[in-house]
Amino acid sequence: MPANKNALIRYKTIDNCLRRKNRRWTLEDLVEACSDALYDMEGISKGVSIRTVQGDIQMMRSDKLGYNAPIEVYDHKYYRYSEVDYSITNMPMSQNDYEVMQEAVDMLRQLEGFELLSEMSDVVNRLQDKLSISRNNRKPIIHYDSVPRLKGLKLLNPLYNHIAHKQTIRVMYQSFIADKPAEFIVFPYFLKEFRNRWFLFGSRSKDMMLYNLPLDRITSIETVEDVPYCENENFDTEHFFDDVIGVSKGLYDTPCRVEFWASAEQCKYIKTKPIHRSQKLRKENPEDGSCIFEIEVVANYEMYSVFMSYGPGVKILSPDFAVCYMKDKLKEAAALYEQVGGVEK
Give domain status of residue 342, yes or no. no
Q: Is the same domain home to 84 and 105?
A: no
Q: How confident is the model at residue 60 (pLDDT cuts 50, 70, 90)?
A: very high
Q: Is the same domain home to 102 and 85?
A: no
Q: What is the pLDDT of residues 218-248, one digit of tens each?
A: 999 999 999 999 999 999 998 999 999 999 9
Mean pLDDT over 147-168 rounds to 83
- Report the C-alpha gap between 239 and 174 in whole angstroms: 29
Preceding amide of 228 cis, omega within 30? no
CATH of the domain at 265: 3.30.70
Which of 73, 107, 134 terminates a domain? The answer is 134
Give domain status of residue 66, yes or no. yes
CATH of the domain at 43: 1.10.10
Among 3, 130, 153, 146, residue whose Cα is nearest residue 64? 3
Report which of residues 125 and 169 the model is more confident about: 169
Q: What is the pLDDT of residues 322-344, one digit of tens each?
A: 999 999 999 999 998 887 565 55
Q: What is the pTM of this model?
A: 0.60
Give domain status of residue 345, yes or no. no
Query: Can you say whether the dihedral through the CA atoms of 30, 36, 37, 43 is positive or negative?
Result: positive
Give domain status of residue 43, yes or no. yes
Model pLDDT, residue 160: 87
Q: Is the same domain home to 100 and 86?
A: no
Q: Domain of 127?
A: 95-134
Model pLDDT, residue 169: 96
Q: Is the same domain home to 9 and 86?
A: yes
Paired residues of 292 in beta bridges: 261, 283
Q: Is the same domain home to 266 and 297?
A: yes
Q: What is the largest CA-CA distance in the chain?
A: 97
Residue ranges of the alpha helices (H) in 211-280? 264-272
The number of distinct structural domains making up the chain is: 4
DSSP secondary structure code for residue 53 in this structure = H
Give domain status of residue 48, yes or no. yes
Residue 118 has pLDDT above 60, yes or no: no
Q: Is the same domain home to 83 and 15?
A: yes
Q: Is the same domain home to 84 and 13?
A: yes
- Report the C-alpha gap between 154 and 333 in whole angstroms: 36
CATH of the domain at 210: 2.30.30
Q: Is the same domain home to 269 and 331?
A: yes
Model pLDDT, residue 33: 94
Residue 1 has pLDDT above 50, yes or no: no
φ/ψ (deg, to 5) at 177: -100, 0
Give domain status of residue 82, yes or no. yes
Give domain status of residue 123, yes or no. yes
Q: Is the same domain home to 165 and 205?
A: yes
Mean pLDDT over 12-40 rounds to 93
Residue 24 has pLDDT above 70, yes or no: yes
Q: Is the same domain home to 281 and 331?
A: yes
Give domain status of residue 22, yes or no. yes
Long-range contacts of 267-275 (CB under 8 A, 24+ apart): 267/291, 270/314, 275/245, 275/306, 275/307
User: Which percentage of the chain shows pLDDT scores above 70?
Assistant: 80
